[in-house]
Structure 1
Amino acid sequence: MSHIITEVNNHCLSIVINRVEKKNALTREMYQAMADAIFDIKEDKTIKAIIIKGAGDCFTAGNDISDFAEQQENAHVPETASFMRALAECKVPVIAQVHGVAVGIGTTLLLHCDFVYATPDSRFVLPFINLGLVPEYASSYLLPKVAGHIKAAEWLMLGEPFSAEEAYQFGLLTKIVDANSISQVVKDTAQKLVEKPTFSLMQTKSLLKGDGERITLQMNEEFDIFLEALGTTAAQEAFDAFLKKRPINPEKFR
């Protein structure tokens, strides 16, 4: 069974993260599959919206740490970067449907969506600093714009989970929707978008996303520092502790 399920229906591309047994943790192959699905519709003028959601009991647990840690140096980067670029440069509106946990990139990718609906039980976390790493996907630029520097600093420097209510309060969500209704709300939003004039819809998104060059520069800078961080003792200790299911040695996590 594919871990990324894509379907085109009524001028809308649906991308479902479907690795339920691993809390939808993302591997290199899954990143590339999502990137390919988004890139493939670039010249398809009939697709007017994209929906991204997770199967099972959560949106995504973020990167598969085992897959990430066991790759040769830098091997994980191209597929992840491909997905980031595809979503950041996407010309059509993107709707995220979130439930359960949204860890790491499960939260940062929301900053590149146009509509984000989440259930009341959704939990968000940006744990990069707890792995000896730094923010990714231009989140160090976009998050302060959305939530303000003080809240962004809390989320990124402490790396602690926060609720759907807090995410909504600080501008990360379009709306909090009951679990029984969220699928229909997302479908209704996609249908409304599909019914809009194509030129106006695409140009409105383009105008709203007018800082694309700045975002790309920030993504590149974050990537360089992220790769440097991967080689630090703190990051290596964090990954080793995770893989061996042991406590972090505070002497090495500095």
Structure 2
Amino acid sequence: MKFDLHTHHDRCGHAIGSMEDYIKAAVSYGLQAIGVSDHSPFFASQEDRAKPRIAMAKSEFSNYVQEVLKLKEIYQDQIEVLLGVESDFFPGQIGLYQRQFEKYPFDYIIGSVHYTGGMRSIFLKENWEGLSETDYLREKEAYYSLVQEAAKSKAFDILGHIDAIKARCPHFSQVKTDIVDQTLKMIADCDTVIEVNTSGKTKDCGGWYPAGEILERACFYGVKVTFGSDAHEPERVADDWEKVRQFLKNVGYKEWAIFRKRKRKFLPL
């Protein structure tokens, strides 16, 4: 079964194309299931749309859900459309986000760390320029501590791009620390799924999130996996899907996960 659980569209402000464009692309690429998982609003903000080029407005969230459900019906004879969302992980706000998500019939929730140190984006290159090696180590460990907290919260079905701190600063991949293995063990203990996210190839770091060597260790520790392109343009739907499938098989994985109504099902690779 060919699927992609991580896609965005123009509602978030930084993706190209409508939701339907991504579904049509998935049909044309022969997928059996496509998940729509746009960025959730900043629910704790007093503004309706705190960051217009980052995430949708709070007032748009119910419309987002209704559009997915409508397209689910329209395309039911061509492809299975799954209702997802990519949620920021802010430790002090997890209850607020959960209460919002509980109002709707989500198939899955992706939890992603996009910010460290409050609201410092990991995707802004200038945030990582001019640091000492001690600073790099501190920042990497702070990032993975947040990934661990996200896993322990049990609020998410999938953890998104778990080494994305390297996106605009590839040097983070060279910073050695035991916290990466500690995090993989934590994720396995929490029985949370990570995604193999192929959008790293569009960033300075290249490749996938997480990197191949981390995926090998994830398999060793028993971390479960799924697939998401993190497409921000329709042409990237299911990007590298077959390469990922073969890589996972080669390192020892036998299956990967798909979700319906917050229930996990494993499919053979």
Q: Which has the higher helix share?
A: 1
Structure 1 length as normaliser, TM-score?
0.35
Structure 2 length as normaliser, TM-score?
0.34
